[in-house]
Amino acid sequence: MERGEFHCPDAHAATWRITLFLDGLAVPMVARRGALRKDEAAAWMREHTAATLGIDARALGPGR
């Protein structure tokens, strides 16, 4: 945000939304092994983060 690459009207709320989404993805990965693959979770996390920040997911760098 400081470099002006994107604008986030409520950084505090965006941080919480991203963190809570990540926590939500962790539950099925830990409690129900095999319910969600690591690559699926990573892709969903990137998509959610990009959407929350209003940027293209490719701007977050290469996926793994």
Domain regions of the chain by residue span: 11-56
pTM summary value = 0.78
Tens-digit pLDDT profile for the chain (64 aa)? 566 667 788 989 999 999 999 999 998 888 888 888 888 999 999 999 999 988 899 888 877 6
Residue 45's φ and ψ, nearest 5 degrees, are -65, -45
Using DSSP's 3-state secondary structure scheme, residue 51 falls into helix
- Helix 38-53 and helix 11-31, axial crossing angle in degrees, nearest 10: 170
